[in-house]
Amino acid sequence: MRTPAKDTAIRSIDTTIVDAPTRRRHRLSNTEVTHQSYVLVRVLLENGVSGIGEASTLGGPRWAEESVESIRATVMTYLAPALRGQSALAFEANAIRMGKAATRNYAAKGAIESALLDAAGKTLGLRASSLLGGAVRERMEVIWALASGDSGQELEEAKEKLRRREHRQFKIKFGFNRPQSDLKRLEALRSGLGNDVRLIVDVNQGWSEAECVRFMPALEELDVALVEQPVSALQLEAMSRVAARTSIPLLVDEAAFTKEEVARAATMGCGSVYSLKLVKSGGLFEMKRAAAVAAAHGLELYGGCLLESSIGAAAHLAAFCTLPKLEWGTEHFGPRILVEDLVTTSIKFDEFEICVPDSAGLGVEVDEDKIRVFARKD
C-alpha cells in the first residue's frame, strides 16, 4: 500500500541529552568514563508516527571532534531546518540535504537517519533492516571489552561472562598504562582464561611505531587475534609499516571514517580488518557503502561500537544483519554496561550472540521514565 508523501513528511525533530551511568569505569588511552552520554533524536512525522535515533560520544570530543553539546546544536540549528517538510522515505535526498547543511558531524547525521528509518519502518510495518536491503542473519557473535585496567577485576569479569554464556571473545583496552603494564595485564588474562578464548587488543592510538616494533612480538606470543588502531590515526604510513611487520591482523578504526578514507587506508596496507561505526559514516546507508569499499579492497569487517544503548545498538544491528559478510561479529555490548538501559526491553543476548530486534522500525521502545531520570538538566 502506497503512503502519501505528505503523510511521511517530517513535522519536527527534537533532541535530548542523556547521561547514563555505567556499571564500571571504562578506560581508553586518552580518557575514562563512568557515565555514557548520548543525544537522543526524535523525529515526528505528519502521520503522527515518531522515530528515535541515538548519537554516542566518549567523554566529550576526545574520540572524535563531536560532543553531545555540539551534536545537539548542529541538529537543532542546521540539520533539522534542512529536513522539515521532507519525506522520511527520501533517505538519499535527505542525506544530501544534511551534507549541504553541515560538513562531517557524522554522529549527528547518523542519529537523524536512524530516527527516520525507525519512523519509516513503523509507518510501513517493516523492520529497518528491510529498508536497508533485508537481513541475511538474525544474530551475531558479540565481543565484550575489558577496560578497567585492573587485571584481577577483569579476569573475574571475563570468567563470569563465560560462565553465563554471554561472551567468549574479549577486547582488552590498552594505552592508558605503560606498555609493559598492559602486557602484564594481558599475560594474566591469557593465563587465567586459557588458550581457547579469543583475545583482541585495542591500543586506541596509544603506541608509537617504535613501541609497536618492540611490543607486538609479545602480543604474537600471547596469541592475540587482532590489534585495533595501535598508532595515531594521522600516521597511516607508520600503521602500514607496523602491519607489514606483524603476523597479527590490524583493525583500522579511527584512521578511516569515510569510504574514501577506507579506500586509502586499505590501499596503503594499514590493516586487514575495518571497524564499522555509525558515528564514522554518518548514516546507515553510508556505513553499508563503507563496508562494501572495505570488502572490495579485501578487508574483513568488524561491527564496532561506542558504548551505545539498545537504541544505538539496534540501529547498527539493522545494518550489520544485511551485510553479506561480517567476519568478526560485533562488539555491541553497550546495553549491558549501562546500569539501566534506555528502552523498555533491552536487546536480547543469547549463547554468546546478540539478536537483531524483530519488530517494525529499529525494534526498540524508549523508556520515558528512564529518560526523565537521566536527561541532562539545562
Report pLDDT digits (tens) over 220-230: 999 999 999 99
In a domain, 67, yes or no: yes
Q: Is 159 one of the annotated active-site residues of the chain?
A: no
Distances 10 to 110, 207, 355 between C-alpha atoms, Å: 16, 46, 30
Residue 310 and residue 308: Cα distance in Å, rounded? 7
In a domain, 224, yes or no: yes
Q: What is the CATH number of the domain that holds 60?
A: 3.30.390.10
Distances 287 to 55, 91, 302 between C-alpha atoms, Å: 15, 13, 12
- Indicate which residue of 113, 286, 308, 331 is catalytic: 331
Q: What is the pLDDT of residue 29?
A: 54
Cβ atoms of 37 and 68 closer than 8 Å: yes
CA 362 to chain centre: 15
- Indicate which residue of 161, 171, 173, 280 is catalytic: 173
Distances 187 to 116, 174, 203 between C-alpha atoms, Å: 46, 13, 16
163 and 117 share one domain: no
119 and 141 share one domain: no
226 and 348 share one domain: yes
**Neighbour-count burial of 247, counting CB atoms closer than 10 A to its CB (0-12 exposed, 13-18 middle, 19+ buried):** exposed
217 and 147 share one domain: yes
Where does the pLDDT of residue 71 fall: very low under 50, low under 70, confident under 90, or very high at 90 and above? very high
Where does the pLDDT of residue 1 fall: very low under 50, low under 70, confident under 90, or very high at 90 and above? very low
Q: Is 173 one of the annotated active-site residues of the chain?
A: yes
Cβ atoms of 230 and 197 closer than 8 Å: no
Where does the pLDDT of residue 6 fall: very low under 50, low under 70, confident under 90, or very high at 90 and above? low
> What stretches of 125-234 show up as alpha helix (H) in DSSP?
128-131, 151-163, 179-193, 209-221
The pLDDT of 258-269, averaged and rounded, is: 98
CA 10 to chain centre: 26
